[in-house]
Amino acid sequence: MTTQTSTTATTETASPEARSGLLPPRIARATATAGGALAALSAFTAWTWTAAFPGDLTVYGYPGGLQWLVLVGGALTLLFGLSSYGVKGLRWLTPAGGDAALKLAAYAVFATTWYTVIAISAQLGGLINLEPGAYVAALAGLAALVGAQSLPYERPELPPADPEDSGWQRFKHDLGNRWTGFKAGFAADAPPPARKLPGYAEILIITGFLALGLAVFTYGITTEYDELFIGFLLTAGFGFAALTKAGLIARISALTARHRNVTLTGAFAAAAAFPFTQSDDQYATIGVNILIFATVALGLNIVVGLAGLLDLGYVAFLGVGAYAAAMVSGSPSSPFGIHLPFWGAILVGAAASMVFGVLIGAPTLRLRGDYLAIVTLGFGEIFRIAVLNLDGTSGPDITNGSNGISSIPNLNIFGFDFGAEHSIGGFTIGRFANYFFLMLLVTLIVVVVFRRSADSRIGRAWIAIREDETAALAMGINGFRVKLIAFALGAALAGLAGTVQAHVTYTVTPEQYQFAHVVPPNSAFLLAAVVLGGMGTISGPLVGGALLFLIPAKLQFLSDLQLLAFGLALVLLMRFRPEGLIANRRRQLEFHENEEAPATLTKAGA
């Protein structure tokens, strides 16, 4: 099994197709690197004369707002460029080769600088509002783009055109070949095996990676204005792609696989540190909602990612848990007048969702594929319409109809009031931060259940059903029972999250549990979170859920164009990385079966 060689060797042995470009390879590499360095330096100059543009880009000697993102992109481009030249001490940055990583980092510089320049001109009324530093940044971004476009990369062997083809057929053939080559530039490569480090060194690397993840997440969630968040998406998107292409993400994944318990502990410790980075509940609110959404997506991952059952009504189980917990938590709107402690309410919510999972799954799980998807979609709508009509007029007075169950009291566990502020180590923790910690504990429970289930005998049966149900049945697996267990377990985990959601939002209403609407959670976004993050993985749905909640929350300024922009982003991401952001090794092989399998996937392929 061959792997990508060093950049220098690739340049010398690449085909003429790979070497074609505006500039020779060495000059292209130098141009892209210099463009990134110049863009980073330009961040220390003034880009506009007035502070009317958000971020105050008028200061010399100190970056502000979007300039910080340009500085990060430029620094990343410079480091990858020096690494591709073989600078001593930096080769470890590009274990899978430097040219492709340099190309993507240069794209980040160009996209962020030119977006900033255009935004300043559009908002302030023309190019006259730009200071010399903005022109330098624009030229530096353009130089990085020109150099990146000229960088070589290995392209797959493409079929020659038929000599008898017409001009239009030749044009379509050439366009298809160029598109295939363009995709190859973004394809994920695996790095060669790394020199084994001492255990403590690997743990330190994992700790640093988790700290970096916390910093990026905190920065993204606390962006103060719309322009800064869009710039963050551009820099973070191209930066992640560059790190992936360089082979660093694969190296980190290999380390976390060797230290799974350490990684799990460190990840939750990093998440627990998030509320301490906030001075009020403004962003802690988004944080706890992200945890709820991501946890429900992880529960859906059992049904979709492990068992291969397409469930389009999964948000209904979240609603069942939320309504069941709200009815027994002391709400004055509840017809039962019951006030159970939290442990009782969360058990009621999980049990109610599990019962509904069994009741819905028992008659429908003998169906497959699209038929099962349609039935589950129908269940989601039936639940919403049922709770809407249980208002005392159209049916029994149980759910208060469209008014829902309101005034759900705050939790009080062992004397700890979740609705009050508390001081911990000199930090003031507000209401939503309290629920963030509680939801983090629920997420930990769901992660442990998912991990234990996936590694168990029943988990292997789920995977067998997903891969080939007929073959699994022939080997003696009781397909109906196995799928029903997956359906019930996934529903119970959604019920756990629904219990916390009911107390966080104070009110549960039918409108919160539609199939698709702008504000998640809903069934469409939950399924997208699983597919986007990576089916069959633990971290994939958590990352996908965080992105799919955060991005719509930050793109509200687009109004009617919000779903259009969001859908376009999903299409592009699925086009270039169909296996998801955090790819399962088996699924990565499936999506790249016509390409050479990466070295780290050889064992999985065997």
Q: What is the 3-state secondary structure (H, E, C) of 480-545?
A: HHHHHHHHHHHHHHHHHHHHHHHHHHCCECHHHHCCCCCCCCCHHHHHHHHHHHCCCCCHHHHHHH
Whether the per-residue pLDDT at 415 is higher than 90: the answer is no
Whether the per-residue pLDDT at 239 is higher than 70: the answer is yes
pLDDT score of 235: 93
Q: From CA 346, how far away is CA 328, in angstroms rounded?
A: 10
β-strands 416-417, 422-424: how paired? unpaired
pLDDT score of 579: 73
Q: From CA 405, how far away is CA 341, in angstroms rounded?
A: 18
Render the burial of 290-308: b for 16+ CB within 10 Å, e for the rest.
bbbbbbbbbbbbbbbbbbb
Nearest 5°: phi and psi at 412? -140, 100
The residue ranking higher by pLDDT, 138 or 90, is 138
For 466-485, write each residue's pLDDT tens digit. Answer: 888 888 888 888 888 999 99
492 is written with which tokens?
């119970």
Map residue 424 onto helix, strand or coil.
strand
| Average pLDDT, integer, range 27-43 | 92
Longest dimension (CA), the chain: 83
Q: Where does the pLDDT of residue 158 fall: very low under 50, low under 70, confident under 90, or very high at 90 and above?
A: very low
pTM of the model: 0.79
Distance from chain centroid for Cα 127: 36
**CB 314, CB 376: distance < 8 Å:** yes
Whether the per-residue pLDDT at 157 is higher than 50: the answer is no
How many CB atoms are located within 10 Å of the residue 133 CB? Answer: 20
pLDDT score of 13: 42
Q: Tell me, what amino acid is at 123? A: Q
pLDDT score of 231: 92
Distance from chain centroid for Cα 212: 15
pLDDT score of 392: 74
Residue range(s) of every CATH 1.10.3470 domain in the chain: 273-605
Name the least confident of 320-329, 331-340, 345-354: 331-340
* Nearest by Cα to 586 from 532, 536, 541, 545: 536
Q: From CA 165, how far away is CA 105, in angstroms rounded?
A: 39
| Average pLDDT, integer, range 339-356 | 90
**CB 520, CB 295: distance < 8 Å:** no
Considering the chain, what percentage of its residues have pLDDT values greater than 90?
19
Number of H helices, E strands in the chain: 24, 4
Map residue 75 onto helix, strand or coil.
helix
| Average pLDDT, integer, range 69-86 | 90
Nearest 5°: phi and psi at 197? -100, 160
Name the least confident of 45-49, 243-247, 511-515: 511-515
pLDDT score of 549: 85
pLDDT score of 380: 85
Map residue 333 onto helix, strand or coil.
coil
44 is written with which tokens?
């220390």
Contacts of 526 (CB under 8 A, 6+ apart): 293, 296, 297, 300, 314, 315, 520, 545
* Nearest by Cα to 291 from 562, 486, 529: 529
Contacts of 503 (CB under 8 A, 6+ apart): 325, 329, 408, 409, 410, 411, 418, 435
Sign of CA dihedral 130, 134, 135, 141: negative
Whether the per-residue pLDDT at 135 is higher than 90: the answer is yes
**CB 308, CB 466: distance < 8 Å:** yes
Q: From CA 537, how far away is CA 587, in angstroms rounded?
A: 10
Instruction: Write out the CATH class of domain 273-605.
Output: mainly alpha
Considering 110-124, 365-379, 535-549, the range whose residues carry the highest mean pLDDT is 110-124
- Cα separations in angstroms, 71 against 43, 67, 111, 142, 452: 6, 6, 13, 15, 43
Map residue 421 onto helix, strand or coil.
coil
pLDDT score of 597: 41
How many CB atoms are located within 10 Å of the residue 571 CB? Answer: 10
For 421-472, write each residue's pLDDT tens digit. Answer: 877 777 778 888 888 999 999 999 999 889 888 888 998 999 898 888 888 8
| Average pLDDT, integer, range 387-412 | 84
| Average pLDDT, integer, range 101-129 | 91
pLDDT score of 78: 92
280 is written with which tokens?
């009020």
The residue ranking higher by pLDDT, 310 or 282, is 310
Q: Is the peptide bond before 521 cis (omega within 30 degrees of 0)?
A: yes
How many residues would you count in the chain? 606
Whether the per-residue pLDDT at 306 is higher than 80: the answer is yes
pLDDT score of 362: 86
Q: Where does the pLDDT of residue 108 fall: very low under 50, low under 70, confident under 90, or very high at 90 and above?
A: very high
Name the least confident of 100-109, 131-140, 328-337: 328-337
429 is written with which tokens?
């923790």
Whether the per-residue pLDDT at 171 is higher than 70: the answer is no
pLDDT score of 174: 57
Q: From CA 101, how far away is CA 84, in angstroms rounded?
A: 9
Q: Where does the pLDDT of residue 252 fall: very low under 50, low under 70, confident under 90, or very high at 90 and above?
A: confident
Name the least confident of 194-203, 316-325, 329-338: 194-203
Q: From CA 312, how far away is CA 304, in angstroms rounded?
A: 10
| Average pLDDT, integer, range 391-411 | 83
**What's the mean per-residue pLDDT of the chain?**
81
The residue ranking higher by pLDDT, 132 or 602, is 132
Residue 418's H or E segment, with its range, is: none
Q: From CA 111, how far away is CA 368, in angstroms rounded?
A: 44
Q: From CA 73, how far away is CA 116, in angstroms rounded?
A: 13
321 is written with which tokens?
């848990």
Whether the per-residue pLDDT at 15 is higher than 80: the answer is no
pLDDT score of 601: 38
**CB 206, CB 252: distance < 8 Å:** yes
Q: From CA 364, how far away is CA 375, in angstroms rounded?
A: 7
Q: From CA 329, how far away is CA 331, in angstroms rounded?
A: 6
pLDDT score of 185: 47
Q: Where does the pLDDT of residue 105 fall: very low under 50, low under 70, confident under 90, or very high at 90 and above?
A: very high
Rg (CA), the chain: 26
| Average pLDDT, integer, range 95-102 | 81
Q: Where does the pLDDT of residue 329 fall: very low under 50, low under 70, confident under 90, or very high at 90 and above?
A: confident
Q: Where does the pLDDT of residue 591 fall: very low under 50, low under 70, confident under 90, or very high at 90 and above?
A: low
The residue ranking higher by pLDDT, 234 or 597, is 234
Q: How many CA within 13 A on the CB side of residue 578?
A: 10
Q: Where does the pLDDT of residue 214 fall: very low under 50, low under 70, confident under 90, or very high at 90 and above?
A: confident
| Average pLDDT, integer, range 84-100 | 78
First-residue to last-residue Cα distance in the chain: 12
